Structure 1
């Protein structure tokens, strides 16, 4: 079965679909570094760099059809920091996604966004547009929120999903059950990396970081350099012994000593882009193209592949059951 990923970003959702057995026939994103990341890691994917609001699918033969069309909508139009302008925000791609769905007519449409997209009264008109569009295609739609820690991703992260398909297919769809009994803590996830530079306090730090990492955020386009978010978010990271004011260039070395009583920039370790990728559930060999700010922006705003894979397997199972192949 085949899939197309819109607003593909660093490839988290697309990688999840691939792991579930789908062939990615096209991935689309507006950012140059992002498309270079996709092309470097998956040269066999047909990668399109284009503005989804301006794209003409007919000019890209691989986008003619697919079993699944998936899109992780840009979060800024639906976030408080982005003023929650939704479809009135020029960065939003919801209507463009629905237009591409009308062209491709996939068996399944998957839309991902922040959980409040599914429930907030402010976004009811946007949800109505989705419902009307999928009904026009002859689909029915369900929605739910999935939590990253349920799928082994060591981070307090929740994603809202809309899944639409023909009623005969939807009858076989179930939301994924948790795949782990206990999710690794931040310290467990990063201990090997934190100790790789010879830092003698890595074990003590890991013992202190005994819960899932805070939500990885920040790095929005136009917001400035790479950091771990606003003041509240940085304070959450500090409780786990991490300085959130910037992203590190390397892991702590043998001479580094924690000292939270001095200026935090110098008294706490910083996590690197590679470590952020680990906290997002990416394989260690996933090569992210671009400078630190660009790389962090790509990895911080993606869907963790293990979560995407769990959902994708349920989509695959529903289509196979409906077709009588399982």
Structure 2
């Protein structure tokens, strides 16, 4: 089998799709409902076929080139239990997950990758969703593999756990193995950002990097209904502070000579946040600073997508 093809929905800034491309898959269609995300995809991969549309409105019959692809992938908005989110928000996220699963009825991919919160794999609150996924996909002849990956185990300088469902048609399922970690030592924030912190001549960059020895907390993109960009809730901000970073806001640029000798916490830029998600340094993000950061925070790190794509490709090529 050559030339593996995939359809990616809820594509966002393209982290999962980029990883799958690196694993040897060619996109037939990428779908997202946000104009700024679609602009990001066009900026970086003008040859990709990007459709701006809500997944709930997508009709595969109107896009027959999506039929019978090798892989359907979805880095979906994070589902939440009803105990931690407003019911309307929970409903919207669950609807998208269910819609992605139902696409298998028409597209009939040989494999599916659904990526979401770790709790989707085994938390009791999500058992109704798991049962829906099992019922719909097993009825179509898929066998399911549920597992949790931590992006830090794949060279991403971030503690980011992701719940993953990989479904393969029965003839391929026994050949699938969840990806194994690709690094023996986690990449720290200091090592990941040392060069960018020194780029404008800040003399404190080396000392800062030497004490920022942990991986980053999970980046969160937040809600479109919230205010400006920050690095997360109070506990997350405290973890950033221990690495000398002010998690309450983003900087417009890396610190320069004006920061020499100034005590206090420094801020990271949205470009540095992208490095913490392991996007290539030349991957561009459309929009203003907050919009760029939200795309980055919501993204799936490309190295995880690459590892998942490689594992699926190995099973499909047997």
Instruction: Please give the TM-score of this superposition, normalised by the length of structure 1.
Output: 0.92
Spell out the pairing of 1:1-326 with structure 2 (5 A cutoff). 1-75=4-78, 77-78=80-81, 81-83=84-86, 88-89=91-92, 92-257=95-260, 267-321=264-318
- Separation (CA, whole Å) in 2 of partners of 1:319 and 1:306: 20
- Separation (CA, whole Å) in 1 of partners of 2:37 and 2:269: 18
- Separation (CA, whole Å) in 1 of partners of 2:296 and 2:65: 26
| Residues 77-135 of structure 1 deviation map (CA, whole Å, 9 limit, x = unaligned) | 45865347786336740121122111100000111101011111111111111000111
Q: Which sections of structure 1, spanning at least 5 residues, go unmatched?
A: 261-266, 322-326
- Separation (CA, whole Å) in 2 of partners of 1:69 and 1:39: 20
- Separation (CA, whole Å) in 1 of partners of 2:167 and 2:36: 31
Q: Which sections of structure 2, spanning at least 5 residues, go unmatched?
A: none
Instruction: Please give the TM-score of this superposition, normalised by the length of structure 2.
Output: 0.94
Q: Which shows bigger deviation, 201-210 or 74-83?
A: 74-83
8 Å CA contact retained: 2:79, 2:93:
no
- Separation (CA, whole Å) in 2 of partners of 1:242 and 1:166: 46
- Separation (CA, whole Å) in 2 of partners of 1:162 and 1:91: 15
- Separation (CA, whole Å) in 2 of partners of 1:318 and 1:127: 23
What's the C-alpha RMSD, in Å, of the aligned pairs? 1.7
Shift in alpha-carbon separation, 1:242–1:225, aligned structure 2, 3 A: same
- Separation (CA, whole Å) in 1 of partners of 2:297 and 2:83: 17
8 Å CA contact retained: 1:87, 1:95:
no
How many corresponding residue pairs?
A: 315
8 Å CA contact retained: 1:87, 1:94:
no
* Counterpart in the other structure of 1:324: none
8 Å CA contact retained: 1:77, 1:92:
no
Deviation at 1:210, TM superposition (A): 0.7
Deviation at 1:43, TM superposition (A): 1.1
